Amino acid sequence: MAESKSKVLIIGGTGDIGKYLVRASIKLGHPTFILVRSPTPSDPAKAHLIKSFQDSGVTVLKGDVDDHESLVAALRQVDVVISSVNGGAVPSQVKILEAAKETGTIKRFIPSEFGNEVDRLEIDLKILEAVFQTKRNVRREIEKSEIPYTFVISGGFAGWYVSNLANDNVSAPPRDKVTIWGDGTAKAILNTEEDIATYTIKSVDDPRAANKFLHIRPKENFLSQGEAVALWEKKIGHTLEKTVVSKEELKKIIEETPFPANIFLAIKYSIFVKGDQTSFQLGDKDVEATELYPDVQYTTTSTYLDQFV
């Protein structure tokens, strides 16, 4: 008889990556729960999303990370907790951890990572060091807790960096002019949110991913901004006018940009100028998603761009 799949609670389930995690959990057959402050929020889009989840069989639990009793009550109903809280709420994940320790029944905790590796980078921007140190602090607390964990290192979101060719204030790949960060040759890893969510959910019951860093590194999605632009140019049949912003120019822009916009620029600098996503080798505590789950048919950057042609 096949083992039953873990009950999965997603905190931040209406957010940028959270909604994809919820859908992937449903699709892969897990009893799926989300934690919300209100089942009927005032935001119509969020209310519609929650209703669609409920119609798909998701159990909606009312609670808040800052309300310990409600958090403990929610965690008592599940086996796995996945946090997809936004950057500003990353420190609050220690409260999730405390609730998980109190229940004593959580089989896996997946914190809100879903981006760059933060332990193995040489960081030369103070604002980025501060952001990454917050994630490191949460990691260390999780490691000390003895609750099994998986840290998901997802690379860049295609919806953030491929749909606009890493340019600001556009919702589709530019067809006339494009800004190139640095020299355009630093290799990034760019994955769709759907694929990131699928690999994450695949890992929740997998002992090979317990107490490991799960890296999502499809070889076909290792490419620079310049290569992504060249792919797009080939698809639309003409060359874009390029404005190059040097490494030093971008650092100066980041210094002059107010919070929180400076953080997004700093992450762009990390990915597309320094090449931080591909700057290190995997080690003993690392596993790679496409090797663990070769059955997943991931979307390549080239295929992703086809929808915009």
Catalytic residues: 135
270/234 Cα distance (integer angstroms): 27
CA 61 to each of CA 11, 180, 242, 271: distance values in angstroms, whole numbers, following the listed order: 10, 44, 49, 36
The residue count of the chain comes to 309
Contact 202, 166 (CB under 8 A): no
CA 91 to each of CA 112, 177, 191, 287: distance values in angstroms, whole numbers, following the listed order: 10, 39, 26, 25
Structure tokens belonging to residue 257: 């940009």
Spell out the residues 6+ positions from residue 36 whose beta carbon is closer than 8 angstroms to its own.
13, 14, 50, 60, 61, 62, 63
What is the helix (H) or strand (E) element at residue 52, kind and residue range?
Answer: helix 44-55
Structure tokens belonging to residue 276: 């931080």
Helix (H, G, I), strand (E, B) or coil at 215: strand
Give start and end residues of each alpha helix (H) in 84-181: 93-103, 126-145, 158-161
